[in-house]
């Protein structure tokens, strides 16, 4: 039986000054993201139960790899807990979440394959106070 070799192409650019650049590494895409600060939703002493988030983008231009990542914590000096990422490629429909109730939330919008611009028109949070003061 024959064997299959898996290889990698390397393209090296040699500049006039003799320095070299690996173009395969230079052209790799990098995740782009925007992340909020800790949001207390106007009541820092009350836990909130967040049920959904809706991100409104300009002209419905959603990247296929745009993701929402929700982070949360009860005190600003606590470690941040992270929910699994959720795809936003379905458009500006609400994304339903089930994080535990918390005092502070942070959102991160991340695109693993940026190929153009995206503009955020608005972000809506749906939830309610959990009724427990800390």
Nearest of 134, 61, 54 to residue 97 by alpha carbon: 54
Strands 46-57, 120-133: pairing is antiparallel
Q: What pLDDT is stored for residue 24 in this prediction?
A: 59
Q: What pLDDT is stored for residue 51 in this prediction?
A: 92
Is 100 within 8 Å of 50 (Cβ atoms)?
A: no
How would DSSP label each residue in 35-70? E---B-TT-TTEEEEEEEEEEEEGGG---TTEEEEE
Q: What pLDDT is stored for residue 89 in this prediction?
A: 67
Q: What pLDDT is stored for residue 61 in this prediction?
A: 62
Is 106 within 8 Å of 39 (Cβ atoms)?
A: yes
Please give the domain boundaries of the chain with CATH numbers for all domains: 29-133 (2.60.120.260)
Q: Distance between CA atoms of 50 and 47, rounded to whole angstroms?
A: 10
Q: What pLDDT is stored for residue 5 in this prediction?
A: 45
Q: What pLDDT is stored for residue 94 in this prediction?
A: 87
* 134 residues of the chain, pLDDT tens digit each: 555 445 455 677 788 888 887 765 655 556 788 999 999 988 888 999 999 999 887 765 666 678 899 999 999 999 999 999 988 866 678 889 889 999 999 999 988 776 666 778 889 999 999 876 65
Q: What pLDDT is stored for residue 64 in this prediction?
A: 66
């Amino acid at each position: 039986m024959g064997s299959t070799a898996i290889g990698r192409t390397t393209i090296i650019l040699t500049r006039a000054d003799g320095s070299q650049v690996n173009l395969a590494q230079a052209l790799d895409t990098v995740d782009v993201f925007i992340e909020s600060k800790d949001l207390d939703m106007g009541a820092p002493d009350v836990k909130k139960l967040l049920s959904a988030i809706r991100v409104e983008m300009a002209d419905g231009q959603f990247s296929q790899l745009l993701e929402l990542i929700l982070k949360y914590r009860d005190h600003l000096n606590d470690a941040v807990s992270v929910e699994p990422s959720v795809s936003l490629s379905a458009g500006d429909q609400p994304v339903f979440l089930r994080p535990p109730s918390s005092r502070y939330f942070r959102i991160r919008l991340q695109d693993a394959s940026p190929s153009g611009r995206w503009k955020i028109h608005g972000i809506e949070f749906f939830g309610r106070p959990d009724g427990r003061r800390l």
